[in-house]
Structure 1
Amino acid sequence: MGDRIESSPYRFKMHANESDVLLCRSAPLSPPDFALLKRRIDEMYQVNLILDNLPAIRYTRKDDYFLRWTGYPVGIRVGVDYYVFNHLQFTVLVHRYEDPNVARVMGAAADASDGAAVPANAGKDASAAPGWMVVGFEVVPCSIKHNPEDARAVKMYGRFPSKIKCDPSTVSMSIKENEPIVYTYEVSFVESDIKWPSRWDAYLKMEGAKVHWFSILNSLMVIAFLAGIVFVILLRTVRRDLTRYEELDSEAQAQMNEELSGWKLVVSDVFRAPSNPMLLCMMVGDGVQILGMAVVTILFAALGFMSPASRGTLITGMLFFYLVLGILAGYASVRVWKTIRCGDHSGWVGVSWRTACFFPGIAFLILTTLNFLLWGSQSTGAIPFSLFVVLILLWFCISVPLTLVGGFLGAKAPHIEYPVLTYMHLCVEDWKWWWKSFFSSGSVAIYIFLYSINYLVFDLKSLSGPVSATLYLGYSLFMVIAIMLATGTVGFISSFCFVHYLFSSVKAD
């Protein structure tokens, strides 16, 4: 999944340039390894390296401007021949701080893996030396034909006998069966005016952002235009009916009631309790919780509180907000429960408990099944199992009480009694709008799941075995359920507000 970072054999010394460094000489490529390497090159596998939390960035020239990429490809195919990038030219951009205290506060160390360090040639008086902070990490991959015999007498990190000239425009290291590959690298440190707070700007300004924003704005404009048209038509139709109804006197209303048709006939039934009301309340409460988590997380990320420099901040923030918003889930579910029961909040504790257990229970079932599938195929489940138990305990100790607190607030709240489809159902005298309003907007999850299956069948042909496909479908199902609850809740709340507005002016016998 690309979420685990392993230490690579590349070794840097702060502010110490090195060239023609031998990394290793691989064993002769066996037929299976040769076939695997060719397949990875065909699939355009990328190598992603990180130095001081900065991903390696690669520049390619196109016409008169440069394109930025993260990582570099394993190799390239030219005709029927396969070439591997076996030499890397690293460039580390560093910013100099004259005051050593500044570097020390930012994390000074004599190790290149830290954010700040003193030069390797600073001598004994390191405290008086300037501090250097890594503000950029660039890589240029090259394919160079080395003589394997020259690498036999050289130890790891030793100087390669022949001079290496990196030319990214040519490739020469073709891979063949039963032949080894020699890997080398070089590193140079370059002083830069980039300050520490600005070192992520190069990554946040990757090419393609303009097209991405244009597509988003274009979609928003189309959706806003269509929604505006539908809203205006619906509003004018409803207001015309209500205005004509309110202008009649009592006698005329009584006479009109005998000739009523459409949605006015279900005025006494529209707020009748639906089937399985508790399940509806649970799903609405969990949908509010998931939707609130998404909104708050995106808002905090947009404001810069979740920096990409801090790995794991996003998922940690999502879990934290999900747990805290259990209060909102309990409140929303009990509020709907109280509304359905016409102000009677008895049984709200059961609703809160079920809301707290519903979506986490689904997540527990799906993830446990997938974990057992992985444990059965890899037999490395001790650590994941212990972490999963901790997660369940955290959910039990935090999410459930918070949901119950929200349920208590909903039970004590005063009683206050996707509009287009709901209005169409009411016009044909169908008063059972509760579940239909939820699933009409939540049905977008079906499309997403079908698209996931389509992507699996036609674009993920390289998945190795049924275990990988099952994992993909399992996580897709987990995501789709969350989307269904969130979008269904939006449709239900909007329909509820619309129905309340529509029938608030109609007098019932």
Structure 2
Amino acid sequence: MIFWRTLIFICNLLFVVVGDEHTHTYKDFEEVVLWMNTVGPYHNRQETYSYFSLPFCVGPKGKISHYHETLGEALQGVELEFSGLDIDFKTDVAKTPYCEVELNEVRLKTFVYAVKNHYWYQMYIDDLPIWGIVGEVDEANDVYYIWTHKKFDLGYNGNQIVDVNLTSEARQKLELGAKIKFTYEANWKKSNVKFEDRFDKYLDPNFFQHRIHWFSIFNSFMMVIFLVGLVSMILMRTLRKDYARYSKDEEMDDMERDLGDEYGWKQVHGDVFRPPSHPVLFSALVGSGYQMLTVTFLVILLAIVGELYTERGSMVSIAIFIYAATSPINGYFGGSLYARMGGKVWIRQMMLSALLLPTMVCGTAFFINFIAIYYHASRAIAFTIMVSLFSFCLGNLLMLDICLCQKVSISHNHYQDILYFVLRYFIFTSFWAYKIYYVYGFMLLVFLILMVVVMCVTIVCAYFLLNAEDYRWQWTSFLAAASTSVYVYIYATYYFFFKTKMYGFFQTSFYFGYMALFSVTLGIMCGTIGYVGTSKFVRKIYSTVKID
């Protein structure tokens, strides 16, 4: 009962937070809000600042009818500010001045620096992103210009906005004492684009659906089939020989058996099911792995069905909701494994399971956030939001874990890397460069391929370990599978230095901090899959051999 009440509370709270800014439908002459988002150098995507950190000026309109920020936007540091421009649905606006800036020495240096470093800015109208360049450089004469006119071409289909384009015009030379007059205009045109297809123009099918992408998936799939078949054939042949040898040994009398040379995995049958060292940590990692596997699978499915890339911050919001709602999975699998190991200090195990991932995520986010605040970056998250989110997740996780760990403990006490290089490149490019990743069907297939390969490779490693008469297969299977994360982090390092143009302490900390978090989480998931597959394999082979 407590679980369901808590789950309903989570749903209500998060759905209120992630509700859409509006219904995406307008009446004629109804207000349309232009949001100003960020500004920053084009070649250093993570270095973003508030749009008005540059000496731009605000339009004359001071009030709007609504304002909204989702949970995902807040956690991504997206802070939208009203432009002050008066735009109404289906109402054309002729070229209109809206503000003026006089360039003193400070403002001049700021604009020149932005133009020199190829600063671009981002805006939103009805959740549709718009990008523009601050200015341009005449390198031959060492002269800097700023674009002063924003021309918006908006397409509508019925009562919905389906297309927005920005044209920057009227450049003006940047010089001390110049008066920069900013203007805008809005032109509305009927469009045949359907509302559900309005994000298609932002996608890059030539990039993500390139035949190299298809080939990488097909190649990976064929490699998996080959690997699974090879592993199965070798293991079955080897195990058949082992069974034959052990059956022959059973037919010998005691004297012949003593004179014989017994060896292999049967010799550790008395120790193989011993609990691993540090069972509290081990069970907490496995429980967290089960939960993260569930979260990843569900988020990818929802992304395939719901096209989450069309809504700002929706992916993060939904992932947080699913993570909070699936905390019983962590409590059940982690607690039941700990109980099977004969664990007694279940409160310590429950606390570690509940705190392991949230502490790691929040610790990394806090560290990077302090750096973002120091550099006045737009990605800085409000401290109150971070504390509230951590408290909210912690309270729900602890409540759900306590209920499940108690029930699980009582009941039980009573009775290597197949992530193909090209696909990794596509995913990294979409996250760290100017691409929107939308082919989540590919991602789901590769995710399943990765799980199968990790399981097969880990089973082989465990067999060799047991054959060497070493019974400590639990941690070995987990760590062998989790080593995939090391390779991913090495690739991330290569990608940073050779595929991006990011620079600066904040950008470096942001990149390597979150990539470390991603790699550790991937390692926990792969480790869990490796352990689960190996556990079933070990129990199967020992169940078919007669133990003296």
The reply to whether TM is greater than 0.5 is yes
Deviations 1:64-119 (A, max 9, x none): xxxxxxx34445667656665554432211123xxxxxxxxxxxxxxxxxxxxxxx
CA gap of 1:504–1:54, structure 2 versus 1, over 3 A, is same
Structure 1 residue 335 displacement after superposition: 2.4
Q: Which residue of 388, 391, 399 maps to 1:390?
A: 388
Given the alignment, which residue of 44, 48, 51 partners 2:122? Answer: 48
Q: 1:458 to 1:202 in 2, by over 3 A?
A: closer
In structure 2, what is the Cα distance between the partners aligned to 1:433 and 1:397?
A: 35
Alignment of 1:478 onto 2:517: yes
CA contact (8 A) 1:83 1:143 kept: no
Output one character per residue of 1:209-245: Cα deviation in whole Å (capped at 9) or x when no partner: 3127525524532542443344233333344235525
Tell me which residue corresponds to 2:538.
Answer: 499
**Structure 2 CA distance for partners of 1:375 and 1:4, relative to 1, 3 Å:** closer
Q: Deviations over 1:137-181 (max 9, x none)?
A: 223x345446xxxxxxxxxxxxxxxxxxxxxxxxxxx76777665
| Greater mean deviation of Cα atoms: 359-368 or 76-85 | 76-85
Note the C-alpha offset of 1:457: 4.8
Describe how 1:72-471 pairs up with structure 2 within 5 A. 72-75=132-135, 80=140, 85-96=147-158, 132-139=159-166, 141-145=167-171, 183-203=182-202, 206-211=205-210, 213-214=213-214, 217-245=217-245, 248=248, 250-252=250-252, 258-304=260-306, 307-341=308-342, 346-374=344-372, 384-411=382-409, 418-457=458-497, 462-464=502-504, 466-471=505-510
Looking at structure 2, the residues matched to 469 and 93 of structure 1 have their Cα atoms a distance apart, in angstroms, of 39
Question: Is the CA contact (8 Å cut-off) linking 1:267 and 1:506 kept in structure 2?
Answer: no
The structure-2 alpha-carbon separation of the partners of 1:24 and 1:460, relative to structure 1 and needing over 3 Å to count, comes to farther
| Contact 1:284 1:485 (C-alpha < 8 Å) held by counterparts | yes
Q: Distance in 2 between matches of 1:453 and 1:224?
A: 27
Aligned length: 422
With over 3 angstroms needed to count, the CA separation of the structure-2 counterparts of 1:194 and 1:455, relative to structure 1, is closer
Hey, what's the Cα distance between the residues in 2 that align with 1:423 and 1:177? Answer: 75
CA deviation after TM superposition for structure 1 residue 260, in Å: 2.8
Q: What's the offset of the Cα at 1:451?
A: 3.6
Q: Within 1, Cα distance between the matches of 2:462 and 2:179? A: 69
State the partner residue of 2:83.
8
Counterpart AA for 2:476: K
- CA change 1:145–1:332 in 2 (3 A) is closer
Structure 1 position 34, deviation (Å): 1.2
Using the alignment, how far apart are the partners of 2:397 and 2:228 within structure 1? 39
Alignment deviations for residues 10-53 of structure 1 (CA, whole Å, 9 cap, x no partner): 432322223433355544463453133211x2xxx543322111
Question: Counterpart of 1:237 in 2: which secondary structure?
Answer: helix
Is the Cα contact below 8 Å between 2:280 and 2:348 reproduced in 1?
no
* CA distance in 2: counterparts of 1:381 and 1:75, whole angstroms: 23
For residues 375 and 93 of structure 2, the distance between their equivalents in structure 1, rounded to whole angstroms, comes to: 44
Q: Which residue in 1 is equivalent to 2:527?
A: 488
- Aligned equivalents of 1:377, 1:142: Cα separation in 2: 29
CA contact (8 A) 2:96 2:184 kept: yes
Secondary structure in 2 matching 1:208: helix
Query: Offset of 1:247 from its aligned partner?
Result: 5.5
Change (3 A) 1:410 1:453: same
* Partner deviation per Cα, 1:450-498 (whole Å, 9 max, x = no partner): 344444555666544x344334433333333222212211222122122
> CA separation of 1:75/1:497 partners in 2, compared to 1, >3 Å: closer, same or farther?
farther
Distance 1:220 1:78, change over 3 A: farther
Give the number of the structure whose residues are more often helix, by fraction.
Answer: 2
Q: 1:442–1:486: 8 Å Cα contact kept in structure 2?
A: yes
Distance 1:481 1:280, change over 3 A: same
State the SS of the aligned residue for 1:55. strand
Superposed displacement of residue 398, structure 1: 0.7
Alignment-mate amino acid for residue 297 of structure 1: V
> What one-letter code is carried by the residue in structure 2 that aligns with 1:419?
I
Cα contact 2:147–2:171 (8 A) shared by 1: no
Partner SS state of residue 134, structure 1: strand
1:33 is matched with 111
Once the 2 structures are TM-superposed, how far is the Cα of residue 369 of structure 1 from its aligned partner?
3.6
Does the 8 A contact of 1:331 with 1:408 survive in 2?
no
Structure showing greater relative contact order (alpha-carbon pairs closer than 8 Å, 6 or more residues apart)? 2
Q: In structure 2, what is the Cα distance between the partners aligned to 1:338 and 1:52?
A: 52
Q: What CA distance in whole angstroms lies between the structure 1 residues aligned with 2:471 and 2:263?
A: 13
When Rg is computed on C-alpha atoms for both structures, the one with the higher figure is 1
Cα pair 1:234 1:420 within 8 Å, conserved: no
**Could you tell me how far 1:399 is from its partner in structure 2?**
0.6
Task: Specify the SS of the correspondent of 2:546.
Answer: coil
- Using a 3 Å threshold, how does the CA distance of structure 1 residues 378 and 20 change in structure 2: closer, same or farther? closer
Task: Return the alpha-carbon distance in structure 1 between the equivalents of residues 539 and 310 of structure 2.
Answer: 47
CA-based RMSD of the aligned residues comes to 3.6
Percent identical across equivalent pairs?
23
Aligned residue number for residue 58 of structure 2: none
- Which amino acid is the alignment partner of residue 443 of structure 1? S
SS in 2 for 1:189: strand
